[in-house]
Amino acid sequence: MDKLKITGGRPLRGEVRISGAKNAALPIMCAALLSAKPLRLRNVPLLRDVSTMAKLLGEMGVRVERSPDGEVVLDAARIVHPAASYELVKTMRASVLVLGPLLARCGEAKVSLPGGCAIGARPVDQHVKGLQAMGATISIEHGYMQASARRLRGARIVMDLVTVTGTENLMMAAALAEGETLLENAAREPEVVDLARCLSAMGAKIEGAGSDKIRIQGVPSLGGAEHRVMPDRIETGTYLAAAAAAGGKIRLTGTAPESLDATLDKLREAGARIEIHGSSIDLEIARRPGAVSVRTAPYPAFATDMQAQFMALACVADGTALITETIFENRFMHAIELQRLGADIRLEGNTAVVKGVERLQGAAVMATDLRASAGLVIAGLVAEGDTVVDRIYHLDRGYEGLEKKLSALGARVERIG
Ligand code: EPZ
């Protein structure tokens, strides 16, 4: 069942709960490698990528268990095989996040290079550069990064560009290094802050997470901890954009409103009424959305992981929107598919000029990556008739129970063969 059929044309109404954040859960699971004591996690989403990470860690000797009440316990008392195979790494780039922790804890690591990806080349040179600055020896052999270090030592690392997993990898490595590390031009994403919170609970000494300067005082060892993974701000933004495009009134619970200011501002600009009550967000829109232009950039600016969803919104908005992608060089694959639904989109370099149309028509489309598929689902919710999105396994990587949640909001969606 790898297709999703969406019958469009209904406003969204109702309430759903947001899951834990994929992009926080993945690095936090890798943090377990830094300690011989168990890490107990709550609010870990049930996602394909989370299962892949559990499998990857399991291959190293880490015991990963999810109890019926949803708690995930990771026990890395014994790491027998500090390596990440190409078979798993090629299915999930975030696997590179084991490199820093393995080097710091075991003094060695053999991790497959991730290779290219649908949205861009996505090299890991900044991860390697930072670890080398901390004294690691890293060579590329047969597609693998072969890394070793007797003990990493603190360093001042100025990253050439803002990288989220690069910051996370180096922050984890520095937690067990000798001396102090200063990460400059660091990523400020909320997921970086959530990881730092978990590491601090394990005994790490970290200051400045959330700013572009993070200072880490290495310690000889880390303990166990309990941590609740933050809510998924991209899942939150996706449902809000869906409601803004389809019309209606929804409530999202269990969110972190402060982590998606840029998205909420743009939705207000489109004409949505947004109210925040603690960790709940209400969105209501009674008219056709207005066209809003967005430009992706590192946090706290507008998230690249919300770009496709806002392109779908722009397809039916009143007016013309400019969607500019500055982070990934090939993140407009969904534009071609949206044109199949009758969207008016012109690509000019890293900008898409989207002229809103009165209505889209349902059609068969192909998902190319996680967020592109979310954009196609939103367009399908608005289009007349049926839209069938193929290769929805992309969605399962990052959205927990998407059909169930959309159905709870009154949408007509079903998985078909
Ligand atoms: C993280 O990817 C997220 N993934 C991505 O979410 C997200 O799109 C991205 O950050 C940007 O916000 C996870 O957290 C697991 P980057 P990451 O390193 O860390 C270049 C989703 O949909 N770069 O911040 O891999 C890179 O090519 C996913 O959930 C280098 O050149 O992204 C890109 O152009 C998709 N060298 C830019 O930096 C490096 O060593 C930013 O990438 C590292 C990155």
Q: What is the pLDDT of residues 300-347, one digit of tens each?
A: 999 999 999 999 999 999 999 999 999 999 999 999 999 999 999 999
For residue 327, how far is its CA from the centre of ligand 1 (angstroms)? 8
pLDDT, position 276: 98
Pairing of strands 156-158, 180-184: parallel
Of these residues, 106, 117, 198, 315, which one is catalytic? 117
For residue 199, how far is its CA from the centre of ligand 1 (angstroms)? 21
pLDDT, position 292: 98
Look at residue 147 and tell me whether its pLDDT is greater than 80: yes
Any ligand 1 atom below 6 A from CB of 328: yes
pLDDT, position 381: 98
Distance CA 317, CA 362 (A): 17
For residue 164, how far is its CA from the centre of ligand 1 (angstroms)? 6
Residue 410 one-letter amino acid: G
198 is catalytic: no
Any ligand 1 atom below 6 A from CB of 26: yes
What share of the chain has pLDDT > 90, as a percent? 96
Nearest Cα residue to 385 out of 13, 7, 58, 4: 7
- C-alpha distance from residue 275 to each of 130, 147, 309 (Å): 42, 49, 21
pLDDT, position 1: 74
pLDDT, position 178: 98
pLDDT, position 299: 98
Any ligand 1 atom below 6 A from CB of 235: no
Any ligand 1 atom below 6 A from CB of 251: no
Smallest CA separation from ligand 1 atom 44, residue: 163
Cα-to-chain-centroid distance, residue 356: 28
Residue 296, token pair as written in the block: 């992706």
Whether the ω angle into residue 300 lies within 30 degrees of 0, i.e. cis, is yes
Any ligand 1 atom below 6 A from CB of 395: no
What share of the chain has pLDDT > 70, as a percent? 100
pTM for the structure as a whole: 0.98
Q: What is the pLDDT of residues 111-138, one digit of tens each?
A: 999 977 788 888 999 999 999 999 999 9
pLDDT, position 365: 98
pLDDT, position 115: 77
Cα-to-chain-centroid distance, residue 329: 17
Look at residue 287 and tell me whether its pLDDT is greater than 80: yes
Distance CA 200, CA 196 (A): 6
Smallest CA separation from ligand 1 atom 38, residue: 163
Residue 96, token pair as written in the block: 């590179």
Computed over every residue of the chain, the mean pLDDT equals 97
| 245 exposure class (CB count in 10 Å sphere: 0-12, 13-18, 19+) | buried
Q: What is the pLDDT of residues 25-83, one digit of tens each?
A: 999 999 999 999 999 999 999 999 999 999 999 999 999 999 989 999 999 999 999 99
For residue 296, how far is its CA from the centre of ligand 1 (angstroms)? 12
pLDDT, position 118: 80
| 236 exposure class (CB count in 10 Å sphere: 0-12, 13-18, 19+) | buried
pLDDT (average), residues 279-308:
98
User: Terminal CA-to-CA distance of the chain, rounded, Å?
Assistant: 4
Nearest Cα residue to 65 out of 47, 51, 83: 51
Q: What is the pLDDT of residues 353-384, one digit of tens each?
A: 999 999 999 999 999 999 999 999 999 999 99
If DSSP states are collapsed to H, E and C, what string results for 223-245?
CCEEEECCECHHHHHHHHHHHHH
Q: Which of 161, 233, 325 to mutate to test the pocket of ligand 1 (most atoms within 8 A of CB)?
A: 161
pLDDT, position 120: 83
pLDDT, position 3: 96
